[in-house]
Structure 1
Amino acid sequence: MSAALLPIFVAAALFITILAVGLSALLFLRARQERRLRRRLVADEPSAGPMDARSDGLISDLADSGRAIERLVDTDNETPRLLVQAGWRQSREQSLYYLAQLLVPVIAALIAAAFWLGKPAEASNLNYLMYFLMAVIAGLLAPRFYLRRRAEARRERIAGEVPLFIHLLVLLFEAGLSTRQALSSLVREGRGTLPELNREFAVVTRQLDAGGDSTEVLRNLEQALQVSDLGNVLGVLRQVDRYGGEVREPLMETLANLEERRTMDMREKVNATSGRMTVVMVLFFFPALLIFVAGPAFVSVIKALGNVAG
């Protein structure tokens, strides 16, 4: 890298840094103005001490700035659904995520800038400029990647609780309980048995107690979680709650279909694992076995040929 291009790269890095700082300050001021406007419109906010209110307000302002950055990354408005799927329904949990969305890129940029300033004199500035941009981009995408992985893992745990959930529902319905009573009983008694579904149905029971329509509430839960196995069960509950009729047979049919599908998935996994094991045996076990079996004979042949030649 020639010395003539060094001022250009330094100026470009400074421009990017100033632009990022200015954008962050603008988003922070805008979020603070929106929060002040909400405080004026909402008169029944809970009272808090001055230090708590100040720290809470600062975190909320920073979280609003992170929410603005998230809107730049999330063009499909997928983040609210992922937050629900990850189990982060509380406003404080969501604020912490948006706060991470703001701070992680800043921290990554500062670390990359520190490495840039401490680089050797003969190192290329272009490479460090690329590292700086890659660090900023990785910082923007890392919180969303973590959120997506957490939501996917929790959906898998919810799907694993569905068979036991069906069995408990059948027992409660056979005991003469209605849909709302059965869900309330599961929320009260199933905290240790169905930890993930218990959290979701606790929200459902609160909405039902507040006067919400059961069909609409269950449909919203199905659309928010997007777990196909649970969606089938919720569809049966909606039909029974609206039209009435026998609930045991549809639930048992749903359970049978679920177990059959899981059996097929398990067979596919076993077949895939068998194929991988075959490749491993061919690459590692078969050469060792060939050396162990044919090695002595091969050595004897070589010695015999050597004696004949001698």
Structure 2
Amino acid sequence: MQQLNDLLTGNLGEFGPLIVVGGLGVMMILATLPILLKQQKDPLEKLREENERGVVVTPGKRLRTNNSKDKLEKYKDFLEPKNEEEYSAVRQKLMQAGYRTRNSVRYYHFAQFALGIGGIVLGVIYYLMFMGNSDNATTQQTLTYILGPGIVGYMAPKYWVSKRQQERQGQIQDGFPDALDMMLVCIEAGQSLDQAIIRVAKEIRPSFPALADEFEMVSFEVKAGKDKSTVLRDMGERCGVMDVSSFVTVLIQSTSFGTPIADALRVYAGEMRDKRVMRAEEKANKLPTKMTLVTMMFTVPPLLIILVGPSAHGITQLGAAGP
């Protein structure tokens, strides 16, 4: 045992035994995790799944179909939040980022778990290859090299989804005034609201595909028989943009009170155009303030060198020459 300890200490430094034990522990956790998460299926549930996958042709015979099942289904209790509010919040955020699949929450948490574990493994490999023989590595540095990549890998899916959500909401916000103008033209031409939504979704797809997807989903849900007010509210929640939520409220109120939709769209479309101009002016007014710091960083140091440099050089030469 002492020889093994000396061997590990000589090759990996003073933390050699601790690193080996930690690596074996991580490997054991990764090896036993699928066994721990695997649950025994209820026989009735298993029979029900078989009945769903197959079609009975004759008594005692069954025609099998190739219904593929999600491979992460058996890990859903581990990957999906138990709290309903937390699950709804993650689900809504993923929908606003454009991920609408049924198992999006499960894949999101699986990506966090897999990238976190992968980052820790890469951190351990990096530490053993480049820092293992160093005697000056402290405990804080060791934890930073090992746990740092794991934390980065765990937070990477969250950062990616947040960026996708912001980009998609910005695209919807930029294209919404043009979509309202086109919808107003379609309604004034004699089309119904449902037909106008379909036409607008088709026309704006090359420029604003995210907004076109939302309009198409509204038309599909209305065709399926879902209540129009509920469909519009769901659209406002999926977009996560205040302009769309206000538009949904205007349409619902116009339908409830029986006022012409064209008049409401004309007023609201004018407000959206004015609001877009105000946003552009706001960005333009912020630009000089943002450029001030950059201008000072790249202008003041060269100016000081040009003005003060010759005087400083003359003073140093005078001091070196002496009396």
Q: Does 1:61 align with 2:80?
A: no
Deviation at 1:63, TM superposition (A): 6.4
Kindly tell me the number of residue pairs found equivalent between the two proteins.
Answer: 295
1:256 aligned to 254, 258, 270, which one? Answer: 270
TM-score, structure 1 as length reference: 0.75
| Structure 1: gaps of 5 or more residues | none
Are 2:53 and 2:66, in contact at CA under 8 Å, matched by a contact in 1? no
In the alignment, the residues of structure 2 paired with residue 75 and residue 132 of structure 1 have an alpha-carbon distance, to the nearest angstrom, of 33
In the alignment, the residues of structure 2 paired with residue 39 and residue 148 of structure 1 have an alpha-carbon distance, to the nearest angstrom, of 41
Letter in 1 for 2:165: A
1:26 aligned to 27, 33, 36, which one? Answer: 36
Structure number with higher helix proportion: 1
Compared CA separation, residues 42 and 248, structure 1 to 2 (3 A):
farther
| Structure 2: gaps of 5 or more residues | 1-8, 56-62
Identity among equivalent pairs (%): 24
Deviation at 1:241, TM superposition (A): 2.7
Compared CA separation, residues 280 and 167, structure 1 to 2 (3 A):
same
In the alignment, the residues of structure 1 paired with residue 268 and residue 248 of structure 2 have an alpha-carbon distance, to the nearest angstrom, of 11
The aligned runs of 1:1-310 (5 Å cut-off) are 6-8=16-18, 10-19=20-29, 21-23=31-33, 25-27=35-37, 29-30=38-39, 33=41, 37=45, 40=48, 43-44=51-52, 56-57=68-69, 60-62=70-72, 65=75, 68-69=78-79, 71=81, 76-77=86-87, 78-91=89-102, 97=108, 99-118=110-129, 119-123=131-135, 124=137, 126=139, 127-285=141-299, 288=302
TM-score, structure 2 as length reference: 0.72
Letter in 2 for 1:61: K
Are 1:190 and 1:198, in contact at CA under 8 Å, matched by a contact in 2? yes
Deviation at 1:12, TM superposition (A): 4.4
RMSD: 4.1
Letter in 2 for 1:140: Y
Instruction: Summarize deviations over 1:134-188 as a string: whole Å, max 9, x none.
Output: 3323222211221121111111111111011100110111122222222233344
Letter in 1 for 2:48: R
Letter in 1 for 2:72: L
In the alignment, the residues of structure 2 paired with residue 162 and residue 282 of structure 1 have an alpha-carbon distance, to the nearest angstrom, of 38
Compared CA separation, residues 279 and 106, structure 1 to 2 (3 A):
closer
Compared CA separation, residues 132 and 143, structure 1 to 2 (3 A):
same
Compared CA separation, residues 255 and 67, structure 1 to 2 (3 A):
farther
